Amino acid sequence: MTDAAVDPDKLKLYSYQLFTKLEGAVTAGMIHLGDQLGLYAAMKRAGRPLSTTELAAETDTIERWVREWAFNQAAARMIEAHPDGTFSLSPEAAIVLADHEHPAFGMGMFHRLPQTMKALEHVRDSFRTGVGHDYDSHGPEGAVGIERSFEPWNRAFLVPVVLPALDGVLPKLDAGAQVADVGCGAGSAVLLMAGTYPNSTFTGYDISQYALDRARTKLDASGLPNAAFHDPRHQGLPEDASLDLVCTFDCIHDMAHPQQVIEAIHASLKPDGTWLLVDIKALDTFEENARKNPMASLMYGISVLSCMSSALSEPGGLGLGTLGLSENRAREMAEAAGFTRFRRLDVDHSVNAFYEVRP
Ligand SMILES: C[S@@+](CC[C@H](N)C(=O)[O-])C[C@H]1O[C@@H](n2cnc3c(N)ncnc32)[C@H](O)[C@@H]1O
């Protein structure tokens, strides 16, 4: 290509677009710091604009660093700057940045940002070897980040909205059901359900030792007698059609051998049992995902660094990745495992789709 073919305006625009990506990445790092240093929490607690001197005093940090951070955050419109040199959170920002009880709390993915980006060091080799890395490659804080990503929404909606949407499951849970959560992560959903349904028994399975350690620590602290956590490589799902409900939250697309896991879920369920499949709202093709999902580039990138890498971390891994389990794909895989009923639930979630799958 000669220089004559290059439109100077388009060149500027392209460079601008390129650097908006770097701006997003760097600001994401500053958001991580705002969360980890308690800067957002202090701003929310204050409930009024704070000077950077006040914010530094509140967070036991040094004003000059806080001031530069605040300038980044205000320039990026994450926080509000006032003419008197103070800074504040809008009511919406206070929820997304600092209210970990709210379903819209958004700091989970930012919590694990350093671990996610550190994966750049090892996935470079994966492009040549083909072999990815499981969730434990992100260290213990990776498991905490996942927990903080999903727990607030689950706490608000799993028991009051999602479980009642399943046909006939609530009476079983009240009476005493056998339930598994496969790919349970740090165990939030298991502990939430076990606390709500004391007559039922809940078992979480995960291959991440960091997630299992955290889940078991929280279980000990809870004192709940009706929950347990296992690595399925040591103690797998029962094979005797004894379970009433199996849940998989945001994990089938991360698994190296999802078809085998779906078959194991089928074998574990009673004939009238239920598989609650929750996974990313993916569409069938790249074109559809790119056109209809404003977060598609984020998700394909997270896939390389985390989801697809996990799904290729064992020999022969299927490598579905973040946007790899569309409704059609999920239905095909379920049918191939012997499931005969597949229904999408009417549950509103920003990134996830919910399915009731039955033998
Ligand atoms: C995105 S996290 C979701 C964790 C949890 N369900 C939640 O909602 O917080 C995906 C989880 O799947 C787990 N995982 C991947 N492959 C697995 C397998 N074959 N069996 C069990 N868990 C697996 C990972 O270790 C990770 O904890």
| Ligand 1 centroid, distance to 261 Cα (angstroms) | 12
Find out whether the beta carbon of 136 lies less than 6 Å from any atom of ligand 1.
no
Domain residue limits, the chain: 3-99, 115-358
Helices 258-268/327-336 angle, 10° precision: 60
Q: Is the CB of 34 under 6 A from ligand 1?
A: no
CB 189 within 8 A of CB 247: yes
Q: Is the CB of 206 under 6 A from ligand 1?
A: yes
Looking at residue 245, the DSSP 8-state letter turns out to be E
Q: Which residues contact 119 (CB under 8 A, 6 or more apart)?
A: 133, 137, 138, 305, 306, 309
d(CA 289, CA 128): 26
| Residue 174 Cα to ligand 1 middle (Å) | 27
Record the pTM.
0.95
- How remote is the CA of residue 184 from the centroid of ligand 1, in Å? 6
- Cα(186) to centroid(ligand 1), Å: 9
**What are the residue ranges in the chain where pLDDT is below 50?**
none
Location of structure tokens 């697309």: 253
**What atom in ligand 1 is closest to the CA of residue 188?**
9
Indicate the helix (H) or strand (E) that contains 279.
strand 269-280
Ligand 1 centroid to Cα of residue 5, in Å, is 49
Give me ligand 1 centre to Cα 313, in Å. Answer: 13
The amino acid sitting at 73 is Q
How far is 342 from 270, CA to CA, in rounded Å? 16
In a 13 Å sphere around the CA of 162, the CA atoms on its Cβ side amount to 26
CA–centroid distance, 180 to ligand 1, in Å, is 13
User: Is the CB of residue 229 below 6 angstroms from any atom belonging to ligand 1?
Assistant: no
Q: How many residues are there in the chain? A: 359
The CA distances from residue 347 to 151, 157, 322, 355, in Å, are 16, 9, 20, 9
Does any ligand 1 atom lie closer than 6 A to the CB of residue 268? Answer: no
Nearest-atom index, ligand 1, CA of 258: 19
Closest ligand 1 atom to 151 CA? 9
Q: What is the pLDDT of residue 4?
A: 74
**Using an 8 Å Cβ cutoff, are 278 and 251 in contact?**
no
pLDDT at 2: 58
Q: How far apart are alpha carbons 249 and 74 in whole angstroms? A: 35
d(CA 128, CA 112): 25
Domains 3-99 and 115-358 share a fold: no
User: What is the rounded distance in angstroms from the CA atom of residue 196 to the CA atom of residue 189?
Assistant: 11
Q: 192: which 2 tokens?
A: 């939430």
Ligand 1 atom 17 nearest Cα: 255
Instruction: Kindly report the protein residue whose alpha carbon is nearest to atom 16 of ligand 1.
Output: 255
Say if ligand 1 is within 6 A of residue 251 CB: yes
314: phi then psi, degrees, rounded to nearest 5: -125, 155
Ligand 1 proximity of 249 Cβ (cutoff 6 Å): yes
How far does the centroid of ligand 1 lie from the alpha carbon of residue 82, in Å?
Answer: 44
- The CATH class, in words, for 3-99 is mainly alpha
- 210 CB less than 6 Å from ligand 1? no
Please say whether the structural domain 115-358 has been given the CATH code 3.40.50.1980. no
130 Cβ contact list (under 8 Å, min separation 6)? 312
- Compute the distance from residue 154 Cα to the ligand 1 centre, in Å: 16
Taking the centre of ligand 1 as the mean of its atom positions, its distance from the CA of residue 8, in whole angstroms, is 47
Nearest-CA residue for atom 7 of ligand 1: 185
CA 220 to chain centre: 24
